[in-house]
Homo-oligomer: A and B are copies of this chain.
Amino acid sequence: MIVKALVEEVRITRTSGSSIKMSNSQQIAQNARKAGNILKTISNEGRSDILYKIHDALKANAHAIEEANKVDLAIAKQTSLADSLLKRLDLFKGDKFDVMLQGVKDVADLEDPVGKVKMARELDDGLTLYQVTAPVGVLLVIFESRPEVIANITALSIKSGNAAILKGGKESVNTFREMAKIVDNTIAKYQSETGVPVGSVQLIETRQDVSDLLNQDEYIDLVVPRGSNALVRKIKDTTKIPVLGHADGICSIYLDEEADLAKAKRISLDAKTNYPAGCNAMETLLINPKLPKWWEVLENLTLKGDVTVHATKGLKTAYFNKLNEHGALTEAIQSKTVDADEKVDFDREFLSLDLAAKFVGSTEEAIQHINTHSSRHTDAIVTEDKVNAEKFMKGVDSSGVYWNASTRFADGFRYGFGAEVGISTSKIHARGPVGLEGLVSYQYQIRGNGQVASDYLGAGGNKAFVHKDLDVKMISL
């Protein structure tokens, strides 16, 4: 009922998926705002239903999507794109398409992030305050050339009640356009049934559109860039809209003097080598020289992980001396231990089998190094000493602070979020791996029966507030 009436009034211009050029970015942003205002009123059933319909439509139109994908692949081959990029572009490689489809259903089946009562407080008899989760509103999501991401983002946005404006990497433009058309048509077809309005998901195609939209801070509430760090950094530098993302992932591990050596070896090897291109990979290793046999950790990294250690002068000298003492300074080790460029390497995201390493004299020194050089992503301490561990976790100003665990755990799926929107290195709103909860905010509701402020103390009256917290588990609005 609500939905239909509103939908009729707003008359959203249909744009997504078509190759028609938008009149302007403001129109796109306004349409998104209008759609978002409707979407926030749609029940979880409506939002999940449309995702099932989208799943079915994508599945039914697999052939058309594959044809579009072939066009992108053919163009990519002509422009001699790197093999790794070609692999990314190919949506029908292995089970990628099926995994994408399943992902849409998985998000549909997640618990509703909207309308959760987070706090309830009786202000007075018959006057109750509620803090209730609500969609952020309008998202601008910018992502790389992986064609499957468009389905993923569509699902996350709609499930969380947000309108989304999407811009994908240009290499996948034909695939994106085909998929956006299917999404758009499906939303239109079932609009009267599910209530989810056309305009909920809009595709834009040019970089100019992105720059224009980054100025629409009146209509866009959150920018979610997924992709290269350079992209994220550029976006952060050019918009006033809050950005959910991380420009860098410079993660450190500190080996305390009380570290268990076996744990130190395992954790550092995993953190560096499990997926060196990951933002949660270790880039810096801080070693307390009072840790017995500390050099074995470096040896292990190079011999088992093929890691090149960029060591400070002091560390390198001590390392080679120790290996010499044990007759273990091999040519392999020597060639894989290089001089750190101290001005650069501790602020560097290698994204490769390289790391920067240095000595630090204490947990305090480790904390200070990390708070100065890390990107506030995820940092870990390896120690058996609880006092040092607590000191580290309290002192390090990063979204993830770990004790005796690999930084590679910083991931929405590993955290059990069901879906990952991204990883944030912002200090406010959402930090670290972000699930659907990162796409909602909250509203305060007051439900009364005619109360006015002037009856209460502080505003001219004599009544006092009760301020009695209620158990949110007992509340159903």
A-to-B contact residues, CB < 8 Å = 2, 5-6, 9-10, 36-37, 40-41, 115, 121, 123, 127, 129, 134, 136-137, 221-222, 236-237, 240, 242, 260, 262-263, 266-267, 269-271, 274-275, 362-365, 367-368, 371, 389-391, 393-395, 397-406, 408-411, 413-416, 427-429, 431-433, 441-454, 456, 458-460, 465, 467, 477
Which of B221, B367, B449, B454 is in CB contact (< 8 Å) with A428? Answer: B221
* Docked-complex contact B129 and A452, CB < 8 angstroms: no
Q: What residues of chain B lie closer than 8 Å to A402, measured between beta carbons?
A: 445-448
Check A393/B445 contact, CB under 8 A, given A123-B414, A404-B450: yes
Q: What residues of chain B lie closer than 8 Å to A408, measured between beta carbons?
A: 452-454, 459
* Docked-complex contact A368 and B6, CB < 8 angstroms: yes
* Docked-complex contact A409 and B445, CB < 8 angstroms: no
* Docked-complex contact A403 and B445, CB < 8 angstroms: yes
* Docked-complex contact A274 and B222, CB < 8 angstroms: no
* Docked-complex contact B136 and A428, CB < 8 angstroms: yes
Q: What residues of chain B lie closer than 8 Å to A411, measured between beta carbons?
A: 453
* Docked-complex contact A222 and B428, CB < 8 angstroms: yes
Which of B403, B406, B442 is in CB contact (< 8 Å) with A452? Answer: B406
Closest chain B residue, CB of each to CB of A418: B467
Copies of this chain, complex-wide, total 2
* Docked-complex contact A236 and B242, CB < 8 angstroms: no
* Docked-complex contact A397 and B459, CB < 8 angstroms: no
| Complex: A265 Cα to B5 Cα, angstroms | 29
* Docked-complex contact A274 and B404, CB < 8 angstroms: no
Q: Mostly helix, strand, loop or mixed at chain A's interface?
A: mixed
* Docked-complex contact B415 and A444, CB < 8 angstroms: yes
Least CB distance, A145 to chain B, in whole angstroms: 23
Closest chain B residue, CB of each to CB of A460: B274
* Docked-complex contact B441 and A404, CB < 8 angstroms: no
Closest chain B residue, CB of each to CB of A364: B5
* Docked-complex contact A262 and B450, CB < 8 angstroms: yes
* Docked-complex contact A270 and B453, CB < 8 angstroms: yes
Check A395/B432 contact, CB under 8 A, given A404-B449, A405-B447, A416-B467: no
29 example contacts (A-B, Cβ-Cβ < 8 A) are as follows A2-B363, A2-B391, A9-B365, A40-B395, A115-B394, A129-B416, A134-B397, A221-B427, A221-B428, A237-B240, A266-B452, A271-B452, A393-B445, A399-B443, A400-B443, A401-B443, A402-B445, A402-B447, A403-B447, A404-B450, A405-B451, A405-B452, A406-B451, A408-B453, A414-B456, A415-B444, A416-B467, A428-B441, A432-B444
Q: What residues of chain B lie closer than 8 Å to A263, measured between beta carbons?
A: 449-450
Check A458/B413 contact, CB under 8 A, given A2-B395, A405-B127, A431-B444: yes
| Complex: A449 Cα to B409 Cα, angstroms | 13
* Docked-complex contact B364 and A453, CB < 8 angstroms: no
* Docked-complex contact A416 and B121, CB < 8 angstroms: yes
* Docked-complex contact B444 and A400, CB < 8 angstroms: yes
* Docked-complex contact A395 and B41, CB < 8 angstroms: yes
